[in-house]
Copies of this chain bind each other. A is one copy, B any other.
Amino acid sequence: MGHHQLDELDYKILKLVASNARIPFLEVARECNVSGAAIHQRVQKLTNLGILKGSEYIIDSNKIGFETCAYMGFYLKNPGDFSHVVEELRKIPEVVECHFTTGQYDMFIKLFARNNQHLLEIIHTKLQPIGLSRTETLISFREIFRRQLPIEEVEDLD
């Protein structure tokens, strides 16, 4: 869990690539005053360490026909069924995030649907049969913003 020893250059690279996965490494190199090969090696290292876990294009879900974004929290009918439930959730492509949580629920998921009726359909035909209890659904009217987590070097005290 504890994080690895990353130096200033690592953080600078992470900051630059975080919100632009297609930035040329040579441009990163120029910003960092090192060679392109150095960036290439660092990115490889960060990937091997599992700190960089791939890249994504950000796609406007509304514009490709997914107008409903919802979050759902629920309890399991049989606690201990965790892994089975996770497997079933993985099979539902509309479920895009899945968390174990503490507090009000056992699990918490984010999902997209084409519209509200489609959401109901997913809940009734795909989610309920898995064996959930006390589900609560929260519909996002609008995503106001979404961004990367702050990447900052932890201020090590000397």
Contact = CB atoms under 8 A, between A and B. Distances in A.
Interface residues of A, number: 67
Nearest to A6: B64
Contacts of A57: 14, 17-18, 21, 52, 54-55
A141 B99 contact: yes
A103 B137 contact: yes
A101 B140 contact: yes
A147 B58 contact: no
Given A99-B142, A141-B99, A143-B98, A65 B104 contact: no
A17 B22 CA distance: 11
A90 interface: yes
Contacts of A60: 50-53
Interface string A14-39: 10011111100000000000000000
A6 B53 CA distance: 29
A145 B98 contact: yes
A97 interface: yes
Interface string A132-151: 00001111111111111111
B97 A56 contact: no
Contacts of A100: 140-142, 144
A1 interface: yes
10 contacts: A4-B63, A21-B57, A22-B55, A49-B63, A53-B58, A55-B55, A96-B149, A98-B143, A99-B142, A104-B136
